[in-house]
Amino acid sequence: MMATNGASTASVALPARVVSLLACPACGGKLLLDMEGFRCAESKCGQTFPIVNGIPILIDPNSSLFTFDDYLADFRADLHDIHRDAAYAECLNPNSYASSPRLARELLALGSAGIVYPSVRRASGTCLVCFRPALVTHVRQGGSVTFTFCDPSSPPLIS
Ligand SMILES: [Zn+2]
């Protein structure tokens, strides 16, 4: 898609409706599209954001540190295991969450404690959803990963 504002513009691989909802990550101002990418329309801000391979990189360089804390817990329950069950293949679609909430509602209504399923993002990973908070015990902090985005066109530093 090519948005226009009277001059040549960068190319954005997002629907126009999505582009119209984008806002400056620094101040929340309206974003204007030009040849370089997006530019904040707020005169006090004016930050620019590149478009890489059609994707706007909307990262505030003054607030570009993200930390993910991992938590561990024990579960004491019989869970529905949907590994290797073709009936639930659509629930494991990495591009859609349309089917999985329906399965969760159905199992919850049947009294299920939760679901064990293969990760769709990590080949050897296993995921778990527990419907009953009382079955989650011994919660503790695991590892922590920090992503620092120094330059919008480069991968983040991970520590
Ligand atoms: Zn701004």
The predicted pLDDT at position 6 comes to 43
pLDDT tens-place values along the chain, 159 residues long: 444 444 456 777 778 888 889 999 999 999 998 888 999 999 999 999 988 888 888 888 777 788 899 999 999 999 999 998 888 999 998 888 889 999 999 999 999 999 999 998 888 999 999 999 999 999 999 999 998 877 766 788 888
CA of 42 to the centre of ligand 1 (A): 6
The contacts found for 88-93 with CB under 8 angstroms, 24 or more apart, are 88/117, 91/117, 92/117, 92/118, 92/120, 93/120
CA of 64 to the centre of ligand 1 (A): 15
CA of 146 to the centre of ligand 1 (A): 25
CA of 93 to the centre of ligand 1 (A): 36
The predicted pLDDT at position 152 comes to 64
Angstrom CA distances, 40 to 4, 5, 6, 49, stand at 16, 14, 17, 8
The predicted pLDDT at position 9 comes to 65
CA of 20 to the centre of ligand 1 (A): 15
CA of 68 to the centre of ligand 1 (A): 26
* 116/78 Cα distance (integer angstroms): 10
